[in-house]
Amino acid sequence: MSTGPGRISRDDRRILRAGRAVLAARDGRPRITDVAFVVYAGLLVALVVGAPLVRFAVLGLIEPDAAGVVVAVRPGVVALIAAITTIVVVLGGRTRGPVVPRPAAVQFLADSPLPRRLTLRRPFVASALALVGLSVLAAGVVGLSRLLVPGERATVSVGVTADAASEIGMAGPTVPVAVVAFVIGAVGFSLLLAVAWLLGQHGSRRTVAAVVIVAGVGGVLGLFVPGMLLVSPWGWLGLLWAPVAGGIEAMVLGSALATGDWAGLFTWGGGGWFASVGVPVSWWPAVALVVLGAVSLLLVPRHLDGLRSGPLLDQALRWQRVGMMLQSGDASGAVGGLRASPTSGRRVPLRMTGPFWLVVLRRSIVGARRIPGRVALGSLILAASGAAVGLSFGLPDGVRWMLAVPAAFLAYLAVGVWCDAVRHGVESAGTPTLYGRSPRSLVLAGAVAPLLAAVVIGGIGALLGVLASAAPGGMALLQPLGWWLLLAVWSVVLRTFDAAKGPLPILLLMPVPTPFGDASSLNVLVWQSDAVLLALLVGGGLTALAPVAPGAAVVLLVVVLVIVAALGFARLRKLSRPA
């Protein structure tokens, strides 16, 4: 056994191998042919599904409109996106950390006298490799598209202003060295994300809050003060992005990296920035990210040893239940299993006076105070969705859908944190009425809170997005805001439609023989994902169409909204009938 803290003996490794062999024999050790089939199926899926998707993404980013948008992304924006990713990963560790083994492995191995840096190392390595793979894929797709952009690389001399440089043409291809440096930096940053993810799972609330604050301040400062890009890992990723994009506002960064003159970087705002294509590639940010990521891995054994078996088993059991529900086709139950339990505000009084809808609204607000983390994250995503919708109205036609479709889908997901009262009204169908109110009245009263949240929080985000995209006035400002109001109503109606779905019909589980096998699983998949498909196709598609044909988009969305609302209340009426 281990002779001291932090030391792993040969006996520890031998006992761990024996323990894993017992678990494998208990679960049924897979044969070599089974492993070979899994590897073959994975490679086949990657070639048949993954390769066309990557090709589609690269070809889409090569288009002139998309290339212009990519070039317009400033290094500070990349730093801010990296900081937001860090915040999401750290907060997500509370719900699903990088170390979530099976419950049997937690009870049999993690609770054993063996050091947890040994027994829990394998799931952390798998999660870290997944992050590295996703980071390399994203950086590689964008970098490859920049290499394949048609045209010649332009070189703008020092002293040319940003407006003049943008007229010359900033969408030319980059050099392979810049892409390689960016991918290497993405690998180092993904290692930092893996450690931050583990910190979110193991660290205290104060530690998590400190990381969130530092990342948020660093990202915002990197956006407004170019010099701050030199002192943070998020800024280093932005420095590596500058020669890849080679676009507007990159000349000062390139000149500073080449000459060592940093004074011009520490200027608040962007009025004096220059622009150039052909920014010199500097390797030190990539090396710094890799070194910092490797050094941060030294903290992993200590954090693994600090993982407590109670929270670890809770996460393992929760995600095991979620997996079982997904396999059985119960997507709503799987999502419900991920909802956070109330943590505060249990003693906040609730006034039961006034109109019924106002009472339900107060109850929703009190409920939101009891789950502050979940509500804060959902509201943040809701504001970001509104900002993305506002920004999409200023994008070219060929690339607007890349922002409009995810924005509409995220708005549908984010408004769900305010829909607990709607789900409660649906669950009351078929049972004795509460407060003498019908399920329909409960649903309508419960929809007030998500509607107000979507309109107010998302509307503020949409306003900021419109102001950030240009200097609009009049109809140019009212059009995206008006569309967001309609999209907010659509998201709430779609949430109600999905909540009133009820149990899975037995008829959908009946076999559907086809020449390719049983296709009954497709019926279950379509039934479970109908609201998701509507959010993507209707909400996202019409949001991309709205700037071009606003009248047609509004009419189509209103028609579909009325139909979905009618179908939702028909579902609710069916659930209310006695069996």
Domain coverage including residue 452: 354-576
Which range, 39-48, 233-242, 317-326, 450-459, has the best average confidence (pLDDT)?
450-459
298 shares a domain with 430: no
Domain boundary among 293, 314, 335: 314
Continuous H helices in 203-279: 205-224, 233-245, 251-259
**426 pLDDT above the threshold of 80:** yes
pLDDT at res. 380: 84
Q: How far apart are CA 528 and CA 349, in angstroms?
A: 38
> Is residue 329 in some structural domain?
no
Instruction: For residues 397 and 523, state if they share a domain.
Output: yes
Which backbone phi and psi does 77 adopt, to 5 degrees? -65, -40
Q: Are residues 128 and 236 in the same domain?
A: yes
CA distance 240 to 288: 11
Q: What was the pLDDT predicted at 15?
A: 66
Q: Is residue 520 part of a domain?
A: yes
For residue 462, is pLDDT > 60? Answer: yes
Work out the mean pLDDT of the chain and round it to a whole number.
Answer: 77
State whether 310 and 358 are in the same domain.
no
Cα distances from 499 to residues 328, 335, 447, 559, in angstroms, run 18, 12, 12, 21
What pLDDT sits at residue 489? 94
Do 388 and 295 lie in one domain? The reply is no
Residue 293: what pLDDT?
92
With a CB cutoff of 8 Å and minimum separation 6, the contacts of 43 are none
- Same domain, residue pair 141 and 212: yes
Q: Does residue 368 share a domain with residue 285? A: no
Q: What is the pLDDT of residues 99-137, one digit of tens each?
A: 888 777 777 777 677 777 777 888 889 899 999 999 999
Confidence check: pLDDT of 142 > 70: yes
Assigned domain for 26 exists: no
In tens, the pLDDT along 238-278 reads 888 877 776 444 545 555 555 555 555 554 343 333 333 34
In a domain, 14, yes or no: no
The better pLDDT of the pair 337, 90 is held by 90
> 127-131, 427-431, 560-564: lowest mean pLDDT where?
427-431
Q: Which of 509, 495, 171 is nearest to 328 (CA)?
A: 509
So what's the pLDDT on residue 363?
A: 84
Is residue 22, in this structure, part of any structural domain at all?
Answer: no
Instruction: Assess if residue 368 is contained within a domain.
Output: yes
Residue of 94, 519, 118 whose CA lies nearest to 338: 94
Q: Are 90 and 209 in contact (CB under 8 A)?
A: no
Closest CA to 297 of 209, 198, 165: 198
Structure confidence at residue 247 (pLDDT): 47
Say if residue 145 is in the same domain as residue 250: yes
**Statement: residue 87 has pLDDT above 70:** yes
pLDDT of residue 374: 79
Residue position matching structure tokens 């993954």: 50
Average pLDDT over residues 21-40: 69
How far is Cα 461 from Cα 26, in angstroms, rounded to an integer?
A: 52
Identify which of 553, 399, 566, 402 has the alpha carbon closest to the alpha carbon of residue 486: 553
Look at residues 294, 314, 334 and tell me which one is the last residue of a structural domain.
314
Residue 19 resides in a domain = no
The mean per-residue pLDDT over the stretch 66-89 comes to 83
Mean pLDDT for the stretch of residues 427-435: 72
Q: Which residue has the higher pLDDT, 258 or 237?
A: 237
pTM listed for this prediction: 0.74
Question: 153-194 pLDDT, tens per residue?
Answer: 544 433 434 443 333 334 466 778 888 889 999 999 999 999
Q: Is 324 a domain residue?
A: no
Q: Would you place residue 296 in the very low, low, confident or very high pLDDT band (cuts 50, 70, 90)?
A: very high
Q: Both 264 and 360 in a single domain? A: no
* Same-domain check for residues 142 and 213: yes
> What's the Cα-to-Cα distance from 449 to each of 152, 376, 455, 492, rounded to whole Å?
54, 15, 10, 10
Q: SS3 of 169, please?
A: coil
Residue 455 confidence (pLDDT) above 90: yes
Domain count along the chain: 2
Give the DSSP letter string of 81-97: HHHHHHHHHHHHTTTS-
Query: What is the rounded distance in angstroms from the CA atom of residue 454 to the CA atom of residue 456?
Result: 6
Q: Do residues 368 and 250 both lie within one domain?
A: no
Same domain, 296 and 423: no
| C-alpha 221 chain-centroid distance | 22
